[in-house]
Structure 1
Amino acid sequence: MTIPEGQAPVAALLRRLAGADPVETHISAVFIGRDTVWKLKKAVRLGFLDFSDLAARRHFAERELALNQPHAPGMYRDVVPVTRAADGTLALAGEGEPVDWVLRMAPVPKDDFLDVIARRGGLTPDLLDATADAVVALHAAAPPAPPGFDAPAGAAKVLAGNIRDCHGTGLPPMRVAALGTAMQARLDALIPHLAARQAAGHVRRCHGDLHLGNLCLWEGRPTPFDALEFDEAMATTDTGYDLAFLLMDLCQFGQRGAANRVMNRYLARTGDFGLLPGLGFWMALRAMVRAHVEARRGGDGLAYLAAAEEHLRPVPPRLVAVGGLQGTGKTWLARQIAPDLGAAPGALHLRTDETRKRRAGLAPEARLPPEAYAEAESQAVHAELFAAARQALAAGQSVVLDAVFLDPAQRQAAEGAAAPYPFTGFWLAAPLDLLRSRVAARSAEGRDASDATVAVLDRAAAADPGPIAWQVLDAADPLPAARAALA
């Protein structure tokens, strides 16, 4: 990559200030200094953007600042001119006419980008939950699509552009054509659903480029940055499509379990199960984008093309229910088996504890008063759980239900929610003294969605669950038997 000839003097100034050569993309050059980063937009005109004009470079630098500063305060500082004095010397915000504009930012340690963290195996459960929470906050703050915006037409335009770009980068033409035909058929079937989601407010001015490399740790928190600034129509999209880039990227990093955790945390916080019908299509489309981008760079575009084909391929869903007393490890087992079930990134994990918190407008780890566990509310929680399960199965996504299921009627309802898809029920069992110690330790930590105390456990243990027809697993080591049953 090269910096346009006319910007060479500006690049030389920024190189001196940074003390290093820039990190380049096809549209920008980023000069990373010890305490400041300067981002210069290249004076290029491409099929999807035009930075050739000085006024345009200023506009899009300021737009980038406005989009990203609210989510990364302190990282994005300001936009300043590069000026030429009467004697011809260049300076930042000096005397004379502006000859270019640069975005000033704070540097981020190279090891704090989430793609780097993923490569070293550092995506912990807490970090993944915090990442999902950051995306939830990003989407909640995003403005809705403007009046007259046509989300299905926008998706069709993006698809057509990516089919064209895949053909133009040397990827196998027959595979690209077959994938394009299949993608178009899937999109045609989704059009009414996508229009309904727009009407419901799920089409917003999103990040637009939400892959792992555009998330970093800032002030200790996962933070999205570098939102797409140069095309409002492209960035105005379904929140599910925005999320799909992150999920697809995690899967391509060999982190399907991490993708499953992020998806389930996002859905536990938002309750937006309506994104599931489009998820396979959106992940395939994001993989298509990466396929031609990587091919153009000389990378492995075929791997992303294969991923797009795989994400589009339907996988028969199934429903698995995990029950048992408090402390038996239901959630742990559900999280272990969910990534491997059905279509990527695995099964929807529905937990009564998280459903109850969402209904109260709280984060999963927030505490609820005892009245939130009244019988009427518990019935409503289970009804919502089963409705979400049916919705996910109809969308082609497998489901894992996670609840005590002490009431035989609730176990029967769980089985009924699976129809007509396969059902497997697991019941975890363990000595009561072991469960008491687990619940006491969990309550002391206060970092789980469960509000159960030892007293709650003792009351549940005294109740009669009736005959248990589900497969009983030893809670000390349930995973091998569960996996064998699901194979």
Structure 2
Amino acid sequence: MSIPEAQRPAAALLARLTGDDTPVETHISAIFIGPDRVLKLKKAVSLGFLDFTALADREHFCRREHALNAPSAPGLYRGVRRLARGADGALALEGEGPAEEWVLEMAPLPAADFLDAIARRGALDAALQDALGDTVAALHAGLAPVAGWDAPARMGAVLEGNVAAALEAGLPEARVAAWAEAARGWLSRLAPVLAARAAAGMVRRCHGDLHLGNLVLWQGRPVPFDALEFDEALATIDTGYDLAFLLADLERRVDRAAANRVLNRYVARTGDAGLLAGLPLWLSLRSMIRAHCLHRVGQDGLPFLAAAEAALRPAPPRLVAVGGLQGTGKSHAARLWAPGIGAAPGALVLRSDEIRKRLHGMAPEDRLPPEAYAPEASAAVQAELCALAGQALRAGHGVIADSVFLEPALRARIAAVAAAAGVPFQGVWLEAPLPLLRARVAARRGDASDAGLAVLEQTARRDPGPIAWRRLDASRPLPNEI
């Protein structure tokens, strides 16, 4: 164990209490895992970006870690415990004498339940990806906005700190310099956007280290833990930057489709399409952090350096609209095509059914009453869809608009959004025999669409007018790209 000499008695006690004499170690902690509890010791080290050498500071940061993480996972974090001498002079948990060390107690967790382990075994499926998006959206919704934060300046400090760290870690100097120049250009262009988001309350005291290894299944749902506790400035960031770490990790550990799905679920729950403007820079920074951290400890950071470089060269945006009757598979098509459209991690999918649920303050799978489908409510949904599409396109991000688009006026309206943003437009119309559509609609479970067979029959009787969009037979496999 690389535990400081003065903490060896405490480590020996924790090993006896848990039966774990080979704790999981990081550069700042030693985690002793027992059958009924976990005890986490903060190492008495000073690493420049943190200083845990003083006992009072270790107590403070144990309590800070508990306060930050306990609300997201009730019961996972059990409390802060003192190590002190008992009446017999032996070091004990909650002894009677003055505190000699402080530890954080947690519930034990199966190693298989950490999301990085789930990803490694290929089990991070669509349902879990949606739950991830919900988890992060709920986390951010519960955080208070931070007023008076100079977001561009702080992001500049993060950028320059990563340039220095990348060079110190030994990453190729010429590539780091080229990346730094490109990243500074992005930051200069984004400064007004970042400042506006800060003024709108999108800078909060976030998790700060939101990768798959810091998410775990707890009581049947993914929860974040181990939030960055030792530097308030590093964790006071735009919620989009917090999300970007998870998206970058998903793309590397799973694939782009997983990152795209989590992004779209998050935006479906929050409506925050504005984060897309900063995403290329944020994804690049998160990848650069992984690159130099890995390289520093002798692992290969070059794949992450390549990802950092690629994020700053996004593909140009375009708008694809997918229409058709209920059951034609519009949402399936949108998810299939989205990862390959535009900037990482792929197109923003704007599904009218999900927008309707969000406007009514409900989760996508919740059912709405009939009045939520009144003409004025549907008009508000289409207006929001077009507004979000325009916002994303102007930010340089690709979009797929997923709606029935039965009326010619609605098809013309979505095409006009692309024209106003100066980006290419493609309309796709899916069609299939009505008996097949009936079977698909009847088989739906846990979907955002509330449309049943009666709605399908009613829609099928209406005349959509001339359809100039590309028509695809939805009874056959769709092309993988559009």
Q: Which residue of 2 aligns with 1:289?
A: 289
Q: Deviations over 1:156-188 (max 9, x none)?
A: 111111111001001001111111111111111
Q: Which residue of 2 aligns with 1:276?
A: 276
SS in 1 for 2:41: strand
Q: Which residue of 2 aligns with 1:13?
A: 13
Q: Which residue of 1 aligns with 2:466?
A: 467
SS in 1 for 2:169: coil
Q: Deviations over 1:430-486 (max 9, x none)?
A: 1111111211221xx3x1110101111111100000111111111122422x62xx3
What RMSD in Å do the two structures reach over aligned CA positions? 1.2
Measured in 1, the distance between the counterparts of 2:331 and 2:289 equals 35
Measured in 2, the distance between the counterparts of 1:86 and 1:68 equals 34
Q: Which residue of 2 aligns with 1:427?
A: 429
Are 1:191 and 2:154 matched, yes or no? no
Q: Which residue of 2 aligns with 1:414?
A: 414
Are 1:336 and 2:340 matched, yes or no? no
Q: Which residue of 2 aligns with 1:51?
A: 52
Instruction: Determine if contact 1:85/1:97 at 8 Å carries over to the other structure.
Output: no
Measured in 1, the distance between the counterparts of 2:155 and 2:352 equals 35
Are 1:94 and 2:95 matched, yes or no? yes
Q: Amino acid of the residue matched to residue 439 of structure 2?
A: S
Q: Deviations over 1:99-154 (max 9, x none)?
A: 11000000110000111111111111111111111111110111221x43322221
Q: Amino acid of the residue matched to residue 140 of structure 1?
A: A
Measured in 2, the distance between the counterparts of 1:340 and 1:121 equals 21
5+ residue gaps in structure 1?
none
Measured in 2, the distance between the counterparts of 1:84 and 1:262 equals 49
Q: Amino acid of the residue matched to residue 26 of structure 1?
A: H
Measured in 2, the distance between the counterparts of 1:83 and 1:134 equals 38
Measured in 1, the distance between the counterparts of 2:271 and 2:341 equals 20
Q: Which residue of 2 aligns with 1:477?
A: 476
Query: How far 1:363 moved relative to its partner?
Result: 1.0
Equivalences for residues 16-415 of structure 1 within 5 A = 16-20=16-20, 21-85=22-86, 88-145=89-146, 147-415=147-415
Q: Deviations over 1:36-70 (max 9, x none)?
A: 10000000111111100000000000000011001
SS in 1 for 2:321: strand
Q: Deviations over 1:66-105 (max 9, x none)?
A: 1100111111001011113465421111121211100000
Measured in 1, the distance between the counterparts of 2:477 and 2:406 equals 19
Measured in 2, the distance between the counterparts of 1:310 and 1:318 equals 19
Measured in 1, the distance between the counterparts of 2:314 and 2:351 equals 25
Measured in 1, the distance between the counterparts of 2:173 and 2:83 equals 45
Q: Deviations over 1:396-419 (max 9, x none)?
A: 111111110100111111211122
Q: Deviations over 1:305-363 (max 9, x none)?
A: 11100111121111111110001111011111111111111000001101111111111
Measured in 2, the distance between the counterparts of 1:51 and 1:477 equals 61
Measured in 2, the distance between the counterparts of 1:81 and 1:377 equals 57
Q: Amino acid of the residue matched to residue 60 of structure 2?
A: H
Measured in 2, the distance between the counterparts of 1:47 and 1:37 equals 28
Instruction: Determine if contact 2:119/2:254 at 8 Å carries over to the other structure.
Output: no
Q: Which residue of 2 aligns with 1:450?
A: 449
SS in 2 for 1:479: coil
Measured in 2, the distance between the counterparts of 1:358 and 1:290 equals 34
Instruction: Determine if contact 1:209/1:242 at 8 Å carries over to the other structure.
Output: yes
Instruction: Determine if contact 1:290/1:301 at 8 Å carries over to the other structure.
Output: yes
Q: Amino acid of the residue matched to residue 434 of structure 1?
A: L
Q: Amino acid of the residue matched to residue 460 of structure 2?
A: A
Q: Amino acid of the residue matched to residue 27 of structure 2?
A: H
Q: Which residue of 1 aligns with 2:442?
A: 440
Measured in 2, the distance between the counterparts of 1:123 and 1:477 equals 28
Measured in 1, the distance between the counterparts of 2:191 and 2:89 equals 57
TM-score normalised by length of structure 1? 0.96
Q: Amino acid of the residue matched to residue 175 of structure 2?
A: R
Instruction: Determine if contact 1:72/1:225 at 8 Å carries over to the other structure.
Output: yes
Identity score, percent: 64
Q: After superposing the two structures, state which structure 1 stretch, 75-84 or 378-387, moved more.
A: 378-387
Instruction: Determine if contact 1:339/1:345 at 8 Å carries over to the other structure.
Output: yes
Instruction: Determine if contact 1:84/1:96 at 8 Å carries over to the other structure.
Output: yes
Instruction: Determine if contact 2:314/2:344 at 8 Å carries over to the other structure.
Output: no
Measured in 2, the distance between the counterparts of 1:196 and 1:421 equals 24
Measured in 2, the distance between the counterparts of 1:109 and 1:335 equals 32
Measured in 1, the distance between the counterparts of 2:285 and 2:18 equals 37
Instruction: Determine if contact 1:333/1:478 at 8 Å carries over to the other structure.
Output: no
Residue-pair matches, total = 479
Measured in 2, the distance between the counterparts of 1:293 and 1:369 equals 51
Q: Deviations over 1:7-31 (max 9, x none)?
A: 1111111112222211111111111
Measured in 1, the distance between the counterparts of 2:43 and 2:476 equals 57
TM-score normalised by length of structure 2? 0.97
Instruction: Determine if contact 1:268/1:354 at 8 Å carries over to the other structure.
Output: yes
Q: Amino acid of the residue matched to residue 4 of structure 1?
A: P
Measured in 1, the distance between the counterparts of 2:433 and 2:181 equals 56
Q: Amino acid of the residue matched to residue 302 of structure 2?
A: L
Measured in 2, the distance between the counterparts of 1:144 and 1:86 equals 48
SS in 2 for 1:126: helix
Measured in 2, the distance between the counterparts of 1:238 and 1:458 equals 46
Q: Amino acid of the residue matched to residue 469 of structure 2?
A: W
Q: Amino acid of the residue matched to residue 422 of structure 1?
A: P
Measured in 1, the distance between the counterparts of 2:463 and 2:88 equals 90
Q: After superposing the two structures, state which structure 1 stretch, 379-388 or 168-177, moved more.
A: 379-388
Query: How far 1:254 moved relative to its partner?
Result: 3.9
Measured in 2, the distance between the counterparts of 1:212 and 1:468 equals 44
Query: How far 1:192 moved relative to its partner?
Result: 1.0
SS in 2 for 1:168: helix
